[in-house]
Structure 1
Amino acid sequence: MKTRQSVTPVPGARNGQAPDAEYTAPRGYLRIGRTVALPVERTAVVACLVVLAVLLIAAVATLTMGRLGIRLADLSTAVFSGAEGKDRFVLNRLRGPRLFTGIATGAAFGLSGALFQSVTRNPLGSPDVIGLSAGAGAGAAIFALMLPGVPVSLGALLGAVLAMALVYVSTGTGFRDPGRLVVAGIGVAAIATAVIQYVVYVVERDKATVLTAYLNGSLAARSWSDATTIWLVLLATVPLIALVARHLTISEMGDEIASALGSDPGRTRTAAVVLSIVLAAGAVSVAGPIAFIALTAPQIARRVTRGAGPRLTLSALMGAVLLVLADLAAQQSPVFEDLPVGIYTMAVGGLYLGYLLTREWRRGTL
Structure 2
Amino acid sequence: MSRIVRIPIARAAVVTFAALLACLLAASVATFTLGRLGLSVEDLYTALTQGAADGKQAFVLERLRGPRLVVALGVGVALGLAGALFQTVTRNPLGSPDVIGLSAGAGAGAAFVALLLPGVVPTPLGALAGAALAMLVVYLATGSGFRHPGRLIVAGIGVHAIGVAIIQYVVYAVERDKATVLTAYVNGSLNTRSWEQALTIWVVLAAVVPFAMLVSQRLNVSEFGDELAAGLGAEPKSARTAAVVLAIVLSAGAVTVAGPISFISLTAPQIARRLTRLPGPHLTLSALTGALLLVLADLAAQQLPLPTALPVGIYTLALGGLYLGYLLIREWRKGTL
- Report the equivalent of 1:66: 35
Instruction: Give, in whole Å, the separation in 2 of the partners of 1:71 and 1:166.
Output: 50
Distance across 1 between alignment mates of 2:222 and 2:308: 45
Change (3 A) 1:113 1:365: farther
2:24 aligned partner:
55
User: Which one of 181, 193, 218 corresponds to residue 210 of structure 1?
Assistant: 181
Question: Pairwise mapping of residues 176-215 of structure 1 onto structure 2 (< 5 A)?
Answer: 176-215=147-186
1:124 aligns with 2:94: yes
| Matched residue, 2:83 | 113
Percent identical: 68
1:264 aligned to 2:264? no
* Structure with the bigger percentage of helix: 2
Give, in whole Å, the separation in 2 of the partners of 1:178 and 1:360.
Answer: 22
1:301 to 272, 282, 304: 272
TM-score by length of structure 2 reads 0.95
Q: Give the deviation of 1:317 after TM superposition.
A: 0.2
Aligned to 2:312: 341
Q: CA RMSD in A?
A: 1.6
Cα displacement string for residues 28-67 of structure 1 (whole angstroms, at most 9, x for unaligned residues): 62xxxxxxxxx53222122111101110010000011111
Does 1:327 pair with 2:303? no
Cα distance between partner residues in 1 of 2:140 and 2:331? 30
1:40 is paired with a residue whose SS is coil
Residues 164-193 of structure 1 show CA distances to partners (whole Å, capped at 9, x for unaligned) of: 000000000000000000000011111111
One-letter identity of the residue aligned with 1:61: A
In 2, the alpha carbon distance for the partners of 1:249 and 1:336 equals 48
Counterpart in 2 of 1:310?
281
Structure 1 residues 364 and 252, CA gap change in structure 2 (3 angstroms): farther
Is 1:140 paired with 2:125?
Answer: no
Mapped contact 1:106–1:293 kept (Cα < 8 A): yes
1:100 to 70, 93, 99: 70
- Name the CA distance, whole Å, in 1 between partners of 2:300 and 2:215: 35
- Counterpart residue identity of residue 103, structure 1: L
Measured after TM superposition, the shift of residue 78 of structure 1 is: 1.5
Question: TM-score normalised to the size of structure 1?
Answer: 0.88
The corresponding residue for 1:91 is 61
Report the equivalent of 2:204: 233
Task: Supply the distance in 2 between the matched residues of 1:322 and 1:214 (Cα, whole angstroms).
Answer: 19
Unaligned runs of 5+ in 1: 5-27, 30-38
The structure where strand makes up a greater share of residues is 1
**CA contact under 8 A between 1:294 and 1:319: conserved in structure 2?**
yes
Counterpart contact for 1:59–1:324, Cα < 8 Å: yes
Provide the aligned length of Structure 1 versus Structure 2. 333
Unaligned 5+ segments in structure 2 are none
Counterpart among 104, 119, 141 of residue 170 in structure 1? 141
- Which is worse superposed, 43-52 or 162-171? 43-52
Structure 2: distance between partners of 1:235 and 1:336: 39
Alpha-carbon offset, residue 357 of structure 1: 3.2
Q: Distance in 2 between matches of 1:250 and 1:69?
A: 48
Q: Is the 8 A contact 1:110 1:294 kept in 2?
A: yes
CA offset at residue 77 of structure 1? Answer: 1.7
